[in-house]
Chain A
Amino acid sequence: MRKVVLVIDDSATVRGQVRAALDPSYDIVEACDGIEGLDRYRSSRVAMIICDVNMPRMNGLEMIEQLKVDGCGIPIVMLTTEGQTALIARAREAGARGWIVKPFNPDLLRKAVDKLTVSA
């Protein structure tokens, strides 16, 4: 059975790029902001989350902080144009396992997902 990766980004194109990078090894569930991301996480059997930072309604950092409160233990990688040290530290504190500054290398992303989902 293929593992499910939840991709949260307000850009449909970026979600499509991530889907293309991970096809056909993973099933992809998409969400366009933090609120929808929480809903998808709670209603799907998700093995890993790839999440943007700047999004409408609820941003990615707020979302993963909520996931930490909920006891979420799955790997989370942030995929964003942001590169501020303080934001990276905040994500790490909230349980993120990685931070990729866009644009991303599809091979690097796939290898990271392969490695992080081994024990998921």
Chain B
Amino acid sequence: MTRFHQQLDDIMADSLQAMLVVPVTASRDGGIAGDHDLVAIIGFAGDSLRGCVGVAANLQAVLAVHPLGLDADRRGRPAEDWLAEIANQVLGRVKHRLSGYSMEIAPSTPVVLRGLQIRVARARPGPPQCYKAATKGGSIIAWIDVTTPIADDFELTPGATADAAPGESFFF
């Protein structure tokens, strides 16, 4: 794993922790290939990198962190929708962090895959670095998969400005 990818993974871990506010642990044990029945994917592209953020979970784990409660599904706010929003907001935090290094990425619209046992592999070689968030309904696993021509010895260095941070607001 390159230094650049390690930095991205660290940013990913911080972003997941900040988004879900539950304990997050790193895992290289192939956790991406778990018995998940929902996976949200949101793609992104920039000048020097493209890829996706993935978030995998079972229904009960998603409902355990659903802001509208365990019966959100019944009230027309599906778990799949919140998993997609988790992916969206995690990528938003990653995007904010990258902007501090003068790297801009544009996100796509998230999509959710449903299945009985979804197994996901990453594009880049090496053991998957993924992050497990422990919820009362089970684990939520997230990862970032990046394709980039950036050289192995590249490191992110602070830039001049950063985007507005998650939770910030402005009124004109």
Residues of A that sit less than 8 Å from B by CB: 10-14, 16-17, 20, 54-56, 77, 81-85, 88, 92, 96-105, 108, 112
Contacts and interface: CB of A to CB of B under 8 A. Distances in A.
Name the 8 nearest CB pairs between A and B, nearest first: A81-B92, A83-B164, A83-B163, A98-B171, A100-B169, A13-B82, A16-B77, A11-B85
A82 B92 CA distance: 6
Which of the four size classes fits the interface of chain B? 20 to 34
A46 B76 CA distance: 23
Contacts of A104: 167, 169
25 contacts: A11-B84, A11-B85, A12-B77, A13-B72, A13-B82, A16-B67, A17-B68, A54-B107, A55-B109, A81-B89, A81-B92, A81-B107, A82-B163, A83-B164, A84-B99, A84-B163, A85-B163, A85-B164, A88-B170, A97-B171, A100-B168, A101-B92, A102-B92, A102-B166, A103-B166
A92 B170 CA distance: 10
Contact of B99 (A10, A11, A83): A83
Given A12-B78, A16-B68, A101 B109 contact: no
B66 interface: yes
